[in-house]
Chains A and B, each alone.
Chain A
Amino acid sequence: MAEFRQIGWKASVPTLVIVLLAAVPPFLSSYWVGLLTQIMIFAILAMSLDILLGYTGLPSLGHAGFFGVAAYTVAVLATAYHAGFWTCVASGIIIGTLLSAAFGLLVSHVRDVYFLMITLALGMVLWGLSNRWITVTGGDNGISGIPRVMTGPITFYEVTLLIFIGCTALMMLFISSPFGFTLKGIRESESRMKSLGVNTWLHCYLSYVIAGAFASVAGVLWAYYNAFVGPTYLDLTASSEVFLMVTLGGPGTLVGPALGAGAIVLLKNVISAYTQRWLMILGAIYIMTILGAPQGLWNLRRRSRSRA
């Protein structure tokens, strides 16, 4: 009975959140609709990193690279080649995913700090490319003028919401599948999983590619939302910001990173309007989280429940 009630509660909360998200835009100004759209896009990105960082235990510091490459693909195709909307969307996701498939070959055999270093280096390579391959990327100036495909911020918001729900559902399904449990097993003890006969390399590789694919989806959305792509979207700061969203919210929970994305986007946009020292506030919040909830905010909730 208690279990049933818990399931009912588990199902009703996301439904409530979705209904709320779908219902609020007409009551908000376009600024807040825009912020909510941003939050959902970065939530997809943060959740995709959570597959790697939280579930597989692979700390990637180059994750914004796939986001950026997908966004650049859309930008280049839409502005220089005037490609159609679906071509841009499909190419953005495919190229981002192919790139993660290629990079995955280079990184899937290493763990921990070595993984961190190699992904950092690969991320920097992508950043360097965006900065120096001027004929294609426009260098420092980035690419602006990506055509708007949807009229009005509310339409875009609704489309983003649908994609956000779809991606979240897919990622939830993925992590609760046997494959997802194997990933958790690798995170806890790779040697034991190996001795159980699991091909841990392949699992890590696929987890890396799937995370890259979802990051590409976020990148494509971002290119259309922002109508501008520049090197700052795939540099180290961008990657570490996503990292921060995940660790702040609580790795290995999916919900946590989404909330972390929301918190950081809000901090960046709202607090920075009142003070230029918003980075200090962000830093203070991060330090408090590390001291008070080293596993992230969402894991705090789980811990208190398990204690009860």
Chain B
Amino acid sequence: MKEVPVKLSTSVVVVVFALLATGVVVGQSAASVPIKVGFIAPLSGPYVQNGRDILNGFLLYLEEIGYRAGGRQIDVVVEDDEAIPAVGLTKARKLVERDKVHLMAGALLASSGYALAPYIDSMHIPMVFPVVSSDDLTQRRRSKWIVRTGWTSSQPNHVFGEYAARTLKLKKVATIGLDYAFGWESVGGFQRTFEAEGGKIAQKIWCPLSVHDFAPYLAQISRDVDAVYALFLGRAALQFMRQYQEYGLKDRVPLIGSGSTTDEHVLPSMGNEALGVITALHYSAALATPSNKSFVAAYRARYNKVPSYYSESMYTGAKWFVSAIEARGGNVEDSAALLDALRKVKLADLPRGPVELDDYGSPVENVYIRKVERVNGELQNTVIETFPKVSQFWKYNPADYLKQPLYSRRYIPPPTE
């Protein structure tokens, strides 16, 4: 008779303990399962440098937060898309269906972006696009599950067209650029606002992506223009700058251009031929804000080089989705709610300045007019003017803007403007 209550009480204790234990275990398991993030960028092939910069920025931020967000561990699965859209699609399938990632980030080329969009939409996995700048991804061919934290190709160029006419007092400009969507959209944006301000695009020259020698193209440039607008990146940018000087054009016709032409991914490899070139972009490593200074210092310490806009893009991209995860308290399993949180993120202390998304899911951010200068022996994009809170639609009404066709190779501005 005496033993029974003891037994009873022990069994009660055991049961309670067991319940507590399972409760603890269950509670732990929800939080201890890591958040899986899939990352896609070209890590081999012709765009490997840009892809590496993107990955570096990504890893730098994750290291800063110790790979933890919302109380959960972050696991990263890195995939190489070789800068081929078809490969990117294959890798995205693998990340979503095999690795079961909760969200994805990455992609460099517009073509990869367009190829991924329908798949991402069908699988309902949010993806952060830190770099892909094709206008239509947030304009005429919007994708629900893609969150763009980078920019649109025409965004800084709308600003730059007006700046070139009003401040630089240019009247006639020739453009020379790479013959693909990024080039057409950038030059189109520039042309629209430049011609609206009374300027004139005298000629447009397009070079194939595989261009090696610029001589035949430089020979076509008319000598009576006020400036040449150049759009290149990577190896082509280096080669173009060198040949532009060798052909004696540098001293006769000032060079302006897209931000990519003098971006920090190529700038350290350039010489005096780049001095004085004026470009527009939403970032410059030479920005004097505290958050950019600490980012540049951390990046230099970690990778021993200056960050490019590609590096900054994915540093910001990572910060973006981490703050969305924090807002969701670490719950990434509900992907619709995660997408909402991603769209609502507003960050003020980014290296590039404050960013928020417009109703179409594209960033509203500062655009910087930069001039290449040599400071302490190193070339840099000194910011000479800041245009705050620039939208992808510039000063136009979004509804009217979207009625216009996308900037194409043979874009002609609407006559009413």
Which of A29-37, A177-185, A285-293 lies at the interface? A29-37
Residues 119-166 (chain A) with a chain B CB within 8 angstroms: 134, 138-142, 144-146, 148
Given A227-B119, A228-B89, does the pair A142, B111 have CB atoms closer than 8 Å? yes
Complex CA distance for A272 and B81, rounded to whole angstroms: 10
| Residues in chain A near residue B110, CB distance under 8 A | 140-141
Which of B44, B118, B180, B409 contacts A144, CB < 8 Å?
B118
CB-CB < 8 A to A272: which residues of B?
Answer: 80, 91
Complex alpha-carbon distance, A232 and B115, angstroms: 12
Does any Cβ of A come within 8 Å of B85's Cβ?
Answer: yes
Q: Closest approach, in angstroms, between the C-beta of A269 and any C-beta of chain B?
A: 6
| B98 and A228 contact, CB distance less than 8 A | no
A82: min CB distance to chain B, Å: 15
Q: In the complex, A227 Cα to B85 Cα: how many Å? A: 12
- Chain A residues near B180 (CB, 8 Å)? 139-140
0 or 1 for each of B111-135: is its CB under 8 Å from A? (1 = yes)? 1001101110010000000000010
Please name all residues of chain A whose beta carbon is closer than 8 Å to the beta carbon of B40 when the two chains form the complex: none
* Of the residues A34, A140, A228, A276, contact of B86 by C-beta under 8 Å: A228
Residue A109 at the chain B interface, CB threshold 8 Å? no
Count of CB-CB pairs between chains A and B under 8 Å: 70
Whether the pair A232, B84 counts as a contact (CB closer than 8 A) is: yes
- Contact string against A for B residues 88-105, beta-carbon threshold 8 Å, 1 for contact and 0 otherwise: 011101100110000000
Which positions 2-18 of chain A face chain B at CB distance < 8 Å?
Answer: none
**Closest CB-CB distance, B77 to chain A, in whole Å?**
9
Residues on the B chain within 8 Å of A269, using CB: 90, 94
Q: Is A233 an interface residue (CB 8 A)?
A: yes
Whether A142 touches B85, Cβ cut-off 8 Å, given contacts A34-B97, A276-B80, is yes
Chain A residues closer than 8 Å to B84, beta-carbon distance: 232
**Contacting pair A142 B90 (CB below 8 A):** no
Residue of B nearest to A135 (CB): B408
Q: Is the CB of A141 within 8 A of B134?
A: yes
Task: Tell me whether B181 is interfacial, beta carbon within 8 Å.
Answer: yes
- A141 touches which one: B89, B111, B409 (CB < 8 A)? B111
Tell me if B409 and A227 are in contact (CB < 8 A): no
On whether the beta carbons of B122 and A230 are closer than 8 Å, the reply is no
Residues of B within 8 A of A141 (CB): 85, 110-111, 114-115, 134, 181
Interface of A is mostly: helix
Q: Which residues of A contact B114 (CB under 8 A)?
A: 138, 141-142, 144
**B93, A31: Cβ atoms under 8 Å?**
yes
B97 A31 Cβ-Cβ under 8 A = yes
Residues of A within 8 A of B80 (CB): 272, 276
A250 vs B117: C-alpha distance in the bound complex, in angstroms? 38
| Whole-angstrom CA separation of A139 from B91 in the bound complex | 22
A90-142 residues at the B interface, CB under 8 angstroms: 134, 138-142
Asked if A276 and B97 sit within 8 Å, CB to CB, the answer is no
Q: Are A34 and B119 in contact (CB-based, < 8 A)?
A: no
> A196 an interface residue at 8 Å Cβ cutoff?
no
Q: A301 near B: Cβ within 8 Å?
A: no
User: CB-nearest residue of chain B relative to A138?
Assistant: B114
Contact B85 A228 (CB under 8 A): yes
What residues of chain A lie closer than 8 Å to B119, measured between beta carbons? 227-228
Residues of the A chain whose Cβ atoms lie less than 8 Å from the Cβ of B86: 226, 228, 230, 232-233
What are 17 A-B contacts with C-beta separation under 8 Å? A29-B97, A29-B98, A31-B94, A139-B180, A140-B180, A141-B85, A141-B134, A145-B117, A145-B141, A226-B86, A228-B86, A230-B86, A230-B115, A232-B86, A272-B91, A273-B79, A276-B43
Q: Which 8 A-B pairs have the closest CB atoms?
A: A31-B97, A31-B98, A141-B111, A145-B118, A228-B115, A232-B86, A141-B114, A140-B111
